[in-house]
Amino acid sequence: MRFLSRGVAAVALAALLAPAAQAQSASKIDSLAIRTIYDEALLRGQSYENLRQLTSQVGGRLSGSPEAQKAVEWGKAAMEKAGFDRVYLQEVMVPHWVRGAKEKAEAKVGSKATKFNVCALGGSVATKGKLKAGVVEVTSWDQLAALPDNQVKGKFIFYNRPMNPTFIETGRAYGDAGDQRRRGAIEAAKRGAVGALVRSLSLAHDDYPHTGTMSYDDKVTKVPAAALSTNGADQLSQLLKANPTLTFELEMACQQLPEVKSYNVVGELKGSKYPDEIISVGGHLDSWDLAQGAHDDGTGIVQSMEVLRLLKATGLRPERTVRAVFFMNEENGTRGGLKYAELAKAANEKHVAAMESDGGGFTPRGFGVEADPATLAKIQSWAPLFVPYHSEEIGPGHGGTDIGPLKGQVKALIGYDCDDQRYFDIHHTAADTFDKVNRRELEMGGASMAALIYLISKYGL
């Protein structure tokens, strides 16, 4: 450099510094844009009020139910009212399981009866009146396999392995213990048992039984499966220790009805520069029937719709098309997610990214990303912009159940990540109600999602 003339040296130095200066300028512009998004969300956010309407006007909305259809109508009307460029439905056939009359259960030792709070697992067959049998408690698959046939046949298998409280990420603890719920009835029936009782998937100690989907194998007899609350599971375990010969009575009236036509609800903001490149953001419109489905997944629904509203209200018109999707049937079939991916592939759509919010409406922490290393690195490079909002934890992670079928059609699957320590206390229970949602946390989450989608829309992947 010292051998160049002063003028030439200045030009050369400017050329070297230009990219850094441009990057700094872009970062400042993006920082201001993101601040605008958060201000709009915190001053005029509509997620909370939309959630109030969804939970109070519709409530629980299990696939195939009249309430699920009412939710479709509500979602379409809400997005049309928001003034999105296009709002439409995607037809999808979904399973239709109904719970029937409230479940009843009690343990009997002689003439003494102890009642239990139970609920049928989603998809379970009925008991056809009272089902009475002894109980065998297990805490692992190996323990079940080691039991002689004569100790298992004709009894209930009671799966009492708790979620692991030492896992900091509660989602990991849920996944680790969830095989009991999913496979419990199958494995019980293989051994000649008459039913499955499963400890609720929760770290809380309370009287709320947690429902959730379970599976059958067409080659194995279908036996009823029910969840006990965590307090109930502890109590049954104690009763069995005192008297292993007790009798358990279970009564459930659930049934599987023929499939029903339903819909995904979709709303779009057309991209200003690259309208054929799509970024989708969504949650699942269906919920279990025990409560209002507020955190699971009403919050994800209203946040996804809010992403589009925030971009529209702030004037940050996306360069790429942003699409909000209310998926139907995540809880017991994933038919909506599968149909969305199928239609996207048939239309040869170009999906840049897909984001999902299905972990509750709690305080935002960041995002989990399924992508190749270069794409992940690019998304992580934006983390400093989220530091002021404590939402900068961006790393490898699970995108989401409904967007999973898009894998191979999209550059990145992104899961909105929030503080999940309380989520599984209410997940799939009668406690999942609107009053459990904090307005500020909910609106902050929608702003975080909108901010990342703004960046993806501007820079692509």
Residues with Cβ within 8 Å of 365's Cβ and at least 6 positions away in sequence, in order, are 390, 391, 393, 417, 418, 419
The count of other CB atoms within 10 Å of the CB of residue 119 is 28
Task: Measure the CA–CA gap between 98 and 289, rounded to whole angstroms.
Answer: 9
Task: Measure the CA–CA gap between 349 and 369, rounded to whole angstroms.
Answer: 21
DSSP code string of 359-407: S-S--EEEEEEES-HHHHHHHHTTGGGGGGGT--EEEE----TTTGGGB
- Closest listed residue to residue 356, CA positions, set 310, 405, 300: 300
Task: Measure the CA–CA gap between 172 and 158, rounded to whole angstroms.
Answer: 22
Active site residue 342: no
The count of other CB atoms within 10 Å of the CB of residue 114 is 15
- Closest listed residue to residue 107, CA positions, set 226, 254, 281: 226
Task: Measure the CA–CA gap between 317 and 319, rounded to whole angstroms.
Answer: 6
- In the β-sheet with 195-199, what is the strand arrangement from edge to edge? 118-120, 225-228, 195-199, 156-159, 135-138
Active-site hit among 330, 349, 370, 392: 330
Q: Which two tokens stand for residue 209?
A: 């039984």
Beta carbons of 359 and 171 less than 8 angstroms apart: yes
Task: Measure the CA–CA gap between 67 and 61, rounded to whole angstroms.
Answer: 5
Q: Which two tokens stand for residue 77?
A: 């009307």
The torsion angles phi and psi of 250, rounded to 5 degrees, stand at: -130, 135
Q: Which two tokens stand for residue 444?
A: 């902050």
Bond into 297 cis (ω within 30): yes
Looking at residue 362, its amino acid is: F
The count of other CB atoms within 10 Å of the CB of residue 259 is 15
Task: Measure the CA–CA gap between 85 and 266, rounded to whole angstroms.
Answer: 11
Kindly list the catalytic residues. 330
